[in-house]
Amino acid sequence: MRAIVGILCCAVAIGSSGCHSVGPGVIKHSHSRYGDAVVSSLDAQLLTNIVRLKYRDNPMFLDVGSITESRSFGIDGGLSKGKWFPHGKSSINEVDPFLSFKNLQAPTISYRPLRGKEFIKHMMTPIPLSVTLGLSSSGWKLQRVFNACIEKINDVENAPSASGPMPRNKPNYEKFYEMTDALKRLEDAGLIVIGIDPENSKNLVLRLKPSASKNVDVIEFKRLLGLDQNKSEFRFEGNFLKASANDIVVRTRSLMGILFYLSHAVDVPEEHVQKGLVQTTICADGSVFDWANNASGTLLKVHCASERPAGAFVATRYRGHWFYIDDDDLHSKSTFMFISTLFNLQAGEASAADVMPMLTIPVGA
């Protein structure tokens, strides 16, 4: 009994001394785990919705409203009956002391469906030109921003018919991509600047450095957009009806239009094509247009496999197959990060009237 009492006293002492450090320890170990889980879940949700649009299935977005974790610690101890053996005319029962520590974790996660008037409006409204151009000043390359977010500049089209369900006929995009290729080279060479018009703070302008007047990419850029070769500064305009001869007139996609555009390049199983589960785009000569190696496929490549891929950056299972982005495909990962950032920026917070009921799920230990 003295041994048992000693053990219990030690347990109480250990438990009471541990209480002083358990709080910081819980935060240290649980914060990163929950953070990683939320990021992984939201990445998989975004990829799943891009795949859904490929099949013309309705997308669905859930936001993690809150995560509440409760923990309880306890000590359980006692005596258990052990061996029995005879001892002369009497018998002796051995008893075994036992001691156990309990650490119970009970997280509660709340989900909120992103729906309602405000959310739908943000998803369907063309992204403001100021936001589109502002993304380039926050570190994103102009080529990626323009190819994803813009469907027309002046008379140059970037597959406007691809801003919805996959079109039946091949869209026009080649001239636009030639223009953004030249724009990329100018940006890399530091020959182009986008900023606020010094004469009118409401306007944004594109300025070419005077030293670049004879640059072949500058000449090509102006030629493709039909701009005056003798000018070096051009004003951005969002209204095709108000534009002057030397404005750069831009029509942007909506966030939903961007997701549709990227969905067209998603690789799908051949049996799904044969069953007519996805649309096939046809070229003028009757051949099948390959989205994966053209247009939106140059921005994001989503592969398909029957088994879960081992080296995937993000993967999701849909319609019995795995869809994923390779972890070493840095170009696609950059585009995926860009779209995720744009979604968080553009979707915004729903108003109080548009907040859907939260689904709260208690998760056992």
Q: Which amino acid is at 76?
A: D
By the 8 A CB rule, do 157 and 269 touch?
no
Residue 365: what pLDDT?
40
Residue 36: what pLDDT?
80
Residue 16 has pLDDT above 60, yes or no: no
Residue 312: what pLDDT?
96
Residue 203 has pLDDT above 70, yes or no: yes
C-alpha span between 155 and 297 (Å, rounded): 23
Mean pLDDT of 195-208: 85
- Three-state secondary-structure class, residue 202: strand
Q: How confident is the model at residue 40 (pLDDT cuts 50, 70, 90)?
A: confident
Residue 200 has pLDDT above 60, yes or no: yes
CB atoms within 10 A of CB 24: 9
- What are the residues whose beta carbons fall under 8 Å from the beta carbon of 217, sequence distance 6 or more? 182, 185, 186, 189, 191
Residue 74 has pLDDT above 70, yes or no: no
C-alpha span between 243 and 229 (Å, rounded): 18
Question: 304: part of which helix (H) or strand (E)?
Answer: strand 303-305
Summarised one tens digit per residue, pLDDT across range 209-233 is 888 878 999 999 999 999 999 999 9
Lookup: tokens for 166:
């996959």
Residue 7 has pLDDT above 70, yes or no: no
C-alpha span between 91 and 111 (Å, rounded): 62
End-to-end alpha carbon distance in the chain: 35
- In order of 75, 146, 233, the CA distances from 242 in angstroms are 76, 21, 18
Summarised one tens digit per residue, pLDDT across range 307-362 is 999 989 999 999 999 999 999 999 999 999 999 999 988 875 544 344 444 444 44
Mean pLDDT of 183-187: 94
Q: Greater confidence, 3 or 117?
A: 117
C-alpha span between 332 and 301 (Å, rounded): 6
Lookup: tokens for 161:
């018919």
Summarised one tens digit per residue, pLDDT across range 233-286 is 999 998 888 777 789 999 999 999 999 999 999 999 999 999 999 999 999 999
What's the burial of 159, exposed, middle or buried (CB within 10 Å: 0-12/13-18/19+)? buried
Mean pLDDT of 22-49: 76
Mean pLDDT of 189-200: 86
- What are the residues whose beta carbons fall under 8 Å from the beta carbon of 225, sequence distance 6 or more? 153, 154, 156, 179, 248
C-alpha span between 90 and 76 (Å, rounded): 32
Give CB contacts under 8 A, 24+ apart, made by 36-44. Answer: 38/64, 38/67, 40/314, 42/340, 43/314, 43/336, 43/340, 44/314, 44/315, 44/316
C-alpha span between 296 and 357 (Å, rounded): 36
Average pLDDT of the chain is 82
Lookup: tokens for 49:
């919705």
C-alpha span between 320 and 305 (Å, rounded): 10
Residue 180: what pLDDT?
96
Residue 319: what pLDDT?
96
Per cent of the chain over pLDDT 70 is 74
Q: Which amino acid is at 324?
A: Y
By the 8 A CB rule, do 312 and 324 touch?
yes
**CA 108 to mean position of chain CA atoms:** 24
C-alpha span between 263 and 164 (Å, rounded): 10
C-alpha span between 68 and 110 (Å, rounded): 9
Q: Which amino acid is at 250?
A: V
Residue 310: what pLDDT?
92
Q: Greater confidence, 137 or 348?
A: 137
Residue 364: what pLDDT?
46
Name 94's bridge partners. Answer: none
